[in-house]
A and B are shown apart, each in its own frame.
Chain A
Amino acid sequence: MNWNSASEFFSMGGYGVYVWGSYAVTAVLLVIEPLLAAQRRRRAVERAREAAAAESQPGAPQ
């Protein structure tokens, strides 16, 4: 075990700002990216459903 306490862990031997600054930005990006991709797919599905529904209306232009 490298750390005797939580504060020692968070200070990272004085390099806390650099280490946690790196990990925090990486974590945020790698969490947001999949959420945005999933949102994009949901929107695409919604639009495709709406288009299909509009076309199946009687008298709708083909």
Chain B
Amino acid sequence: MADSIPWFVFAAPSRFYRLAAALEPWLWAIAAALAAAGLYIGFFVAPTDATQGDAYRIIFIHVPAAWMSMLVYLAMASWAAVGWLLNARMASILARALAPTGAIFTFIALWTGALWGRPTWGAWWVWDARLTSELILLFLYLGFIALVASIDDVRRGDKAGALLAIIGAVNIPIIYFSVRWWNTLHQGATINLTTAPKMASTMLTAMLLMTLSFWAYAFAISFSRARAEVIERESRTDWVRQLLAGGDRREP
């Protein structure tokens, strides 16, 4: 009796759609404002690094993107699992909505890493544990997207995707701990919960602002894509018909 539990209210695609539509403009605005603040501090307040010069400024997008690539994967795998185990359509839709965003953050982490590695290590790419496991993450995202798209029966596609996403989740701790478990060229964690950050506080502030901006972005874009997916899947239902019949013609 999922309907009697209040947390499941937004499991109904119709309610989710309205909530997401209301939150989205705020999330975009928050993402933009945080990015503006983070970039200002990152480029105009944070000092030039003593050893890496200004190349280190790539950190303000590299680290947040790398964090998001892992977090989005965990969110995607969790929603996919919920969608499968509880037969919740909206959870499966959210899993699909997150996948392209996760792939993009993963690509950004790899791309900015290459452009940072070249001047600091002298190499665009090395097959070390951190970089290789992050590349595997990109393939997991692309595999998930291709798999769910290739199965015509939507709910069967959701289940197959969930299986892949759950198995692939084993890669996340491997990425995270790779710099501890193996000797990697990639540096160790700059930030962790047990020790003081090894960077100037202005640099840290800029990086955290960019991280929060990416969080807001991830929520906004996944809501946006989930709404598209809801309309595609539910176009024959009464609530979508009513939504489309009334009000604004372009953007319900």
Contacts and interface: CB of A to CB of B under 8 A. Distances in A.
A52 B241 contact: yes
A15 B55 CA distance: 6
Interface residues of A, number: 32
Interface string A1-28: 1110000010011110111011101100
Given A37-B224, A51-B235, A22 B116 contact: yes
Contact of B44 (A1, A14, A42, A47): A1
Chain A contact surface mostly = helix
Interface residues of B, number: 43
Contacts of B116: 18, 22
Given A41-B224, A41-B227, A48-B240, A30 B217 contact: yes
A42 B111 contact: no
B53 interface: yes
Given A15-B119, A19-B57, A22-B62, A41 B228 contact: yes
B232 interface: yes
Contacts of A52: 235, 241, 244-245
A28 to B, nearest CB: 10
B12 interface: no
B231 A12 contact: no
Interface in B83-117: 100-101, 104, 107-108, 111-112, 115-116
Given A2-B44, A37-B224, A49 B104 contact: no
A41 B100 CA distance: 15
Interface string A24-52: 01100110011001101110110111011
B236 A51 contact: yes
